[in-house]
Amino acid sequence: MIIELDMQSDVPIYTQLVHQIIEGIASGRLKPGEPLPSVRNLASDIGVNLHTVNKAYTLLKQDGYIQVHRQKGVVVHPEGMPPVTEDFLNKQLEELRPIVAEAICRGMTKDDLLKTVEHIYLKITQTRKE
């Protein structure tokens, strides 16, 4: 699994890590039950401090994306992913709203925007079917 970090980004590194791993799961490159590198290994591989990786893993664990198994180490949650809760939908709504609003201001039509979202969705999931 390839991790790409942007050290200049204002998005915290641990957040970028969380995003990349979630995208890895969404794309099927990371499968349920599959082991993830240890905190220390991943940290040295991508050249960040182990605490940064640790924070990312902790957040992923809290949300149910991964498990910290006392023997196998860190693995992608083997029994499916966290469900679509009401909290999640609210969070998603609050994240999407400013993006949609800005798109409207700049004159993107509804179809333009939907096509963009669809394109992203398909790009992520396409590797799944291969």
What are the residues binding DNA (CB under 7 A)?
10, 12-15, 38-41, 48-52, 54-55, 57-58, 68, 70-71, 73-74
- Contact yes or no for 68/74 (Cβ under 8 A): yes
Q: Show contacts with a second copy in window 86-115 (CB under 8 A).
A: 88-89, 92-93, 95-108, 110, 113-114
The reply to whether 4 sits near a second copy by the rule CB under 8 A is no
Reduced to 3 DSSP states, what percent helix, strand and coil does the chain have, rounded to the nearest 5? 60, 5, 35
Helices 39-46/50-62 angle, 10° precision? 120
Q: How many CB atoms lie within 10 A of CB 24?
A: 19
Closest separation between CB of residue 42 and DNA, Å?
Answer: 8
Closest separation between CB of residue 28 and a second copy, Å?
Answer: 10
Q: Show contacts with a second copy in window 6-35 (CB under 8 A).
A: 7-9, 13, 18-19, 22-23, 25-27
The reply to whether 3 sits near a second copy by the rule CB under 8 A is no
